[in-house]
Amino acid sequence: MFGRLCCVDSGVAPASELRDANASLVAVERLPDEMNGMKIRDERQMEAIVVDGNGTETGHIIVTTIGGKNGQPKQTISYMAEQIVGNGSFGVVFQAKCLETGETVAIKKVLQDKRYKNRELQTMRLLDHPNVICRALAYIHNCIGVSHRDIKPQNLLVNPHTHQLKICDFGSAKVLVKGEPNISYICSRYYRAPELIFGATEYTTAIDIWSAGCVLGELLLGQIFRKGLPPEAVDLVSRLLQYSPNLRCSVLEALVHPFFDELRDPNTRLPNGRYLPPLFNFRANELKGVPPEILVKLIPSHARKQCVLFAS
């Protein structure tokens, strides 16, 4: 499974070029050495063209130009499509290889449907976070103002070596503006919040909280937690799956729930014996406005040196 998705083709290309390539390029980290070194790029000067074909068949080459921002020189990178690794309602993901570096990447070809507005590229350009489920949701909800609107197991990527989790596929994501209507027929059926099922058009990011609760409940019922059903897990799921969106706990409240206390233990290790991935390296914008009593519960004393807020 791909461990991290990073937007490479994050510039705005002319419409003609988009019709030719129709692709946003996303790089996959090398496991595990480069996990923390990659981030979503925000290159303003970007072009994407396909050499020999439309980029949907094995062996076709996609060429993209990055750079040109803040005086940086432009750089041309070429990718060869190898095979299809995933299909969705609005796009196809290909495994490809960077010809310059040999790096394995994923290329998402977005299918342009005039009936729907595609916001994925614009949303990806806003994101810069190491865990893009609860901390990632806190970031996109509170820092960016984006609702993912399609949280489900297929959109949660886990690095099998480090167990670091990423949220992917922002094809349904949207900035929710209070008072403005939104489509209710959104989110995969089994993870769809009740208000969406009943046709609500003015909803909040609480729909993602419901979906996260469904995922956690599925893990519990699927025997992922081999020790049975911890009461703390059941309590957390019950707080996430409140029928009324106003009664669902926030993502920050979920993060300080006792269910996650084991992750705050400095002696906790992964099943393979490795250390946990960085969990508490919060940035200032992630903690803006968070009450001190939540901060104390959220970040254990041994990990506060990782956090910018405490370090300063």
- In a domain? residue 119: no
Q: What do you get for the CA distance between the two ends of the chain, in Å? A: 37
Per-residue confidence band for 297, with pLDDT thresholds at 50, 70 and 90? very high
115 assigned to some structural domain: no
pLDDT at 56: 52
Question: Are residues 139 and 105 located together in one domain of the fold?
Answer: no
Any idea what the CATH number is for the domain that residue 263 is in? 1.10.510.10
In whole angstroms, how far apart are CA 281 and each of 22, 140, 167, 309? 35, 16, 18, 9
Annotated binding site for ATP: 109
300 closest CA partner among 273, 271, 274, 276: 276
pTM score: 0.68
pLDDT of 264: 94
The answer to whether residue 242 is domain-embedded is yes
pLDDT for 228-282, tens place per residue? 678 999 999 999 999 999 999 999 999 999 999 999 999 999 988 999 988 998 8
What is the tens place of the pLDDT at every residue in 69-100?
677 788 888 999 888 887 776 678 888 999 99
Work out the burial of residue 213: count CB atoms within 10 Å of its CB; fewer than 13 is exposed, 13-18 middle, 19 or more buried.
buried
Active site residues per annotation: 150
Highest mean predicted confidence (pLDDT) among 100-109, 151-160, 197-206, 299-308: 197-206
Q: Are residues 209 and 154 in the same domain?
A: yes
For residue 105, what pLDDT is reported? 84
Query: What is the structure's pLDDT at 41?
Result: 33
Q: C-alpha distances in angstroms, 234 versus 78, 220, 222, 250?
A: 48, 8, 14, 16
Boundary (domain end) residue, out of 49, 79, 110: 110
Domain extent for 251: 129-311
Question: Is 163 contained in some domain?
Answer: yes
